[in-house]
Amino acid sequence: MELRHLRYFVAVAELRHFGRAAEHLHISQPPLSQQVRQLEKELGTPLLTRTTRRVELTEAGRAFYADAVAILADLDAARARVRALAEGWSGLLRVGFTGSASYRQLPQVARLKQTYLPDVELQMHSEMLTPAQEHALVERRLDVGVLRPPVRVPGVSTRSLSVEPLVLAVPAAHRLATAPAVRVTDLAGEVLLTYPGGARSVVGAEVDAALRRSGTAVARSHEVEQTSSMIALVAAGLGVALVPDSVRALTLDGVRYRPVDGVGTVELALAWRADDISPVTARFVDMLAEHLGGTAPAEEVA
């Protein structure tokens, strides 16, 4: 039994006429009649009763028709699923987000995915520093990262999304919460909550650099990896923090955000394995780059 036998039989069963069925199938009538008779012979029972004017289904024909329609529908659905996977319209993606991107960009990504790629399944991992995402990409535990470049591991491509300034998060009752302007030097002597410095955090490294450039000495206290924990500590009055502007989307009672003069900017970028040939990865990266503002071409870190 071949699939064409099923399609021929279903066409005749639905149109109740060999001539109209042949026209619908774009074949001549004699081969159609021959193929249906071959199907009946293989099944060992008539499926149709034929008259000069009309074709009717036998009891066996009605039962076989239901099965044939279901089989063809399942086949069409399987073809559609494979085509969607091959073209990047469906599939599974594991996406990591640096902590400061978990509040503004993560919800944006979720909305964009639902609008443009509704059949793609996302596993989202938030509060991951860039080095953690780098290792997860290389070890194939992540497919796409939303991180702070530079990326220092080989075989990872990046695409810029945005550049944003650092802002100051302060307790609502702090002297700087209502200051008309804030400079880095205004932080002298303050208890500063920080991200890990050096290669562990791009933001932490930029904060260290801004303090060195301005010659500002601060009283450091807690070193915090998770942005949500850092802002919670600010709300509790344990110190102030310099964070990317996108963290403003994280609103907590008792926290105010202030722009700061004399502090640098940090970049946000997409990252993925350079050898990833998955169509869904390419389509997802292009979608985010288009709608989240990235225009720079991909660059591979050798």
Task: Provide mean pLDDT across the span 55-69.
Answer: 93
Residue 109 structural domain = 91-161+269-301
Residues 229 and 193 in one domain: yes
Residue 10 belongs to domain with CATH number: 1.10.10.10
Task: Provide mean pLDDT across the span 199-204.
Answer: 79
| 3-state SS, residue 229 | helix
Residue 138: which pLDDT band, with cuts at 50, 70 and 90?
A: very high
| Count of CA atoms in the C-beta half-sphere (13 A) of 169 | 32
Q: How far apart are CA 94 and CA 35, in angstroms?
A: 49
Residues 219 and 153 in one domain: no
Residue 180 belongs to domain with CATH number: 3.40.190.10
**Beta-strand pair 240-244/265-273:** unpaired
> Which residue type sits at 124?
M
Residue 41: which pLDDT band, with cuts at 50, 70 and 90?
A: very high
Encoded tokens for 60 = 């066996």
Q: How far apart are CA 264 and CA 252, in angstroms?
A: 25
pTM attached to this predicted model? 0.74
Looking at beta carbons, which pairs linking 53-56 to residues 24 or more positions away fall under 8 Å?
54/16, 54/17, 55/12, 55/13, 55/16, 55/17, 55/18, 56/16
Tell me the C-alpha to C-alpha distance, in Å, between residue 243 and each of 19, 68, 257.
74, 62, 9
Residues 59 and 112 in one domain: no
Residues 180 and 262 in one domain: yes
Residue 47: which pLDDT band, with cuts at 50, 70 and 90?
A: very high
Residues 101 and 129 in one domain: yes
Task: State how many domains the chain has.
Answer: 3
Residue 218: which pLDDT band, with cuts at 50, 70 and 90?
A: very high
Residues 40 and 170 in one domain: no
* More confident call, 197 vs 191: 191
Residues 152 and 241 in one domain: no
Residue 223: which pLDDT band, with cuts at 50, 70 and 90?
A: confident
First to last CA, the chain: 54
Residues 103 and 40 in one domain: no
Final residue before a domain boundary, out of 63, 86, 109: 86
The angle at the Cα of 36, spanning 32 to 42, to the nearest 5 degrees, equals 145
How confident is the prediction for the chain on average, in pLDDT?
89
Residues 45 and 172 in one domain: no
Instruction: Give the relative orientation of helices 18-25 and 29-43 as an angle to the nearest 10 degrees.
Output: 110
244-302 residue pLDDT tens? 999 999 999 999 999 999 888 999 999 999 999 899 999 999 999 888 864 443 444 43
99-129 residue pLDDT tens? 888 888 999 999 999 999 999 999 999 989 8
Encoded tokens for 169 = 């998060």
Q: How far apart are CA 23 and CA 38, in angstroms?
A: 20
Residues 276 and 147 in one domain: yes
Residues 212 and 259 in one domain: yes
| 3-state SS, residue 248 | helix
Residues 206 and 156 in one domain: no
Supply the pLDDT for residue 237. 94
Q: How far apart are CA 288 and CA 94, in angstroms?
A: 14
Q: Name the least confident of 63-77, 215-229, 267-281.
A: 215-229
3-32 residue pLDDT tens? 889 999 999 999 998 988 899 999 999 998
